[in-house]
């Protein structure tokens, strides 16, 4: 019987080997105001959560049309943020609340709507900081840990978990957090970013079918 990691690796390689790695969008150029890279990636990751990258790009552009900067976004009403994002999935209200609550947390702890200081401090401070944010989805913490702090993590939300189940890569009963741990063990530490980007691209292809 194959080891679960080895079997999962085999299935993933068969599925993802032909998927090209496209550079991720630059969220600092999409979101409102002049926002540093780390903070932009944090906000953008909250938009990607349970929605996907294409939907997040469109949502970020709508936020830029409505708000002057991320500080104005921070103090906006949850309903206004939800309406501006424009996504109508089951997570829409929670997504808007997570964004405003997280930006309030950042302001309270950093005396600015920016995690640039945390980003410059590195991963040893970054991961604990992300985990200190009440209500921040694990997917968002993992995505920021990967793309900002360079930690070898594979972010998985319910959306990606469903795709992995559909492709027969993980059992249906596997929680998203367990799937994230398994996939992190399945990819080389130096290729976690490319692996995750291919996974998002492949999931996006399926969503368009």
Q: Are residues 115 and 193 in the same domain?
A: no
Q: Are residues 119 and 173 in the same domain?
A: no
Q: What pLDDT, on the 0 to 100 scale, is given for residue 65?
A: 97
Q: What pLDDT, on the 0 to 100 scale, is given for residue 201?
A: 93
Q: 56 is written with which tokens?
A: 């997040």
Q: Are residues 61 and 112 in the same domain?
A: yes
Which stretches of the chain score pLDDT less than 50?
1
Q: What pLDDT, on the 0 to 100 scale, is given for residue 1?
A: 42
| 45-55 tens-digit pLDDT | 999 999 999 99
- Rounded CA-CA distance 70/6 in Å is 43
* Cα distances (Å, whole numbers) of residue 200 to 11, 70, 79, 103, 142: 16, 26, 28, 25, 14
Q: What pLDDT, on the 0 to 100 scale, is given for residue 2?
A: 52
Structural domains of the chain, count = 2
Q: Which domain holds residue 59?
A: 27-147
Q: Are residues 140 and 160 in the same domain?
A: no
Q: What pLDDT, on the 0 to 100 scale, is given for residue 204?
A: 85
């Amino acid at each position: 019987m194959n080891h679960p990691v080895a079997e999962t690796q085999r299935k993933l390689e068969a599925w993802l080997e032909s998927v090209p790695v496209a550079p991720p969008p630059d969220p600092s150029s999409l979101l409102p105001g002049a926002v540093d890279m780390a903070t932009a990636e944090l906000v953008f990751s909250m938009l990607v959560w349970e929605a996907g990258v294409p939907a997040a790009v469109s949502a970020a552009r709508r936020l830029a049309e409505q708000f002057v900067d991320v500080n104005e976004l921070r103090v906006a009403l949850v309903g206004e943020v939800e309406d501006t994002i424009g996504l109508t999935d089951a997570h829409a209200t929670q997504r808007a609340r997570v964004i405003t609550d997280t930006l309030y947390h950042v302001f309270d702890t950093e005396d600015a709507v920016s995690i640039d200081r945390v980003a410059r401090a590195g991963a040893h401070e970054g991961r604990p900081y992300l985990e200190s944010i009440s209500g921040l989805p694990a997917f968002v913490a993992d995505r920021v840990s990967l793309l900002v702090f360079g930690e070898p993590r594979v972010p998985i939300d319910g959306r990606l978990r469903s795709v992995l189940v559909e492709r027969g890569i993980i059992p249906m009963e596997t929680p998203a957090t367990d799937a994230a741990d398994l996939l992190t063990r399945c990819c080389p530490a130096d290729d976690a970013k490319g692996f995750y980007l291919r996974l998002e691209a492949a999931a996006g292809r399926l969503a368009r079918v």
